[in-house]
Chains A and B, each alone.
Chain A
Amino acid sequence: MERWKQYSGLAAVFAVAVAAGLWGFRATGGSLPWAKRSARALQRGIEEGGGSLIDLGRGIIIAGPIRKGGMVLEFAALVVLLVAVGIGLYIYAERYQDTEDETA
């Protein structure tokens, strides 16, 4: 398929999703963290609000239940464990595939 058609299709999908996102952002209180946003929306319904879409000053933070529950260390340990298992499986798959190729 011609490239301009592909990117036009992708742009159309993005346009619909961004429009829905902007409506949802304003309709559910504007620049609110999710906990407050959803609690308000589910308790009191739609409430218009504004604010910036991006707030770089806040930085990237670990999800509230983990941070407030003092489980950052457990979270870090789990991530390390999963990454180690993932890399281990990758190495295993590479070797296994090499052996398979040699046998064939």
Chain B
Amino acid sequence: MFPDILANMAHIHLGEGSFPLWALALWTAFGVGLVGLVVYRIRKGGIKTHHIALAGIGAAASFAVFQLNLPVWGGIHMNLTGLVGILTGPLLGTLIALVVNVFSAALGHGAVGLLGANTLVNATEAIAAYYVFKTLLSMDWDVFPASAGAATIGLSLGAVLMGGIIVISGVNGSALPRGDLAFAVAGLVGLNLGVAVIEGILTGFVVQFLVSVRPDLIEMVDRRATEDEPAGVSA
């Protein structure tokens, strides 16, 4: 049986012991490797002061919204990891994913043994959202469609990774053959894609609002605005 198995909005909530030990070790190793790489890059490159502030606020918002179950699609929660990735970048976005998962697991929302896997999933969302947003801006997209699309794509990739992790690991106590398990998990992933649209639209509105009041907070947009400004040379 599965006493507390739920996986929504690309976040695996399996009870302790639901994954085989080798899988726990594997995903934890990947998670540690990713966080190690991020910390190394941050130590080497430093962090801008306003990014630290955004990271604090982003972590608070993401953690709070993680715990709120909305009555849509049967009952889901959002992550805001796409928004966090766009606002703080891939490095701090990964650390925020770790922090939010640690706090959530401490409250029983997600297994401690799955911190590595869940950090990988949520960090993927933040990293992918950041790079898709950057790419779309470079293609001269407006802020709303770029951020909404980037968050939706980032969250979708996270959902696919979540499904992949479950299928590769297998679930202790499930009698389903791997093919049937993959199909069942695909259904869960599919539903997460639908939820990603809601979070994508929300992200689009938030980023659009921030750009209208504090464009300097979002570096990519600010840089583009600066580049677009006339040189100011007059005859």
**Residues on A close to B: CB < 8 A?**
1, 3, 6-7, 9-10, 13-14, 16-18, 20-25, 27-35, 37-39, 41-46, 51, 53-66, 69, 71, 74-75, 78-79, 82-83, 85-90, 92-94, 96-97, 100
Contacts and interface: CB of A to CB of B under 8 A. Distances in A.
B148 interface: yes
Contacts of B187: 23-24, 27-28, 41, 46
Sort A-B residue pairs by CB-CB distance and give the 5 closest, nearest first: A21-B194, A24-B190, A24-B191, A82-B60, A86-B56
B142 to A, nearest CB: 6
B71 A20 contact: no
A55 B73 CA distance: 8
Contacts of A93: 49-50, 52-53
Given A21-B195, A28-B188, A41-B185, A74 B74 contact: no
Interface of chain A, helix or strand or loop or mixed? helix
Nearest to A53: B73
A23 B190 CA distance: 7
Given A17-B152, A17-B197, A24-B188, A33 B57 contact: no
20 contacts: A7-B145, A9-B145, A10-B145, A14-B152, A14-B197, A21-B194, A41-B188, A42-B184, A43-B173, A55-B72, A56-B71, A59-B71, A62-B68, A63-B77, A64-B69, A66-B109, A78-B107, A87-B56, A88-B56, A89-B55
B71 A66 contact: no
B33 to A, nearest CB: 26
Given A33-B74, A69-B107, A89-B57, 20 more contacts: A10-B145, A17-B156, A17-B197, A17-B200, A18-B194, A28-B188, A33-B6, A34-B74, A38-B6, A38-B7, A38-B8, A42-B184, A43-B173, A45-B181, A51-B74, A65-B107, A75-B67, A82-B63, A83-B64, A100-B49
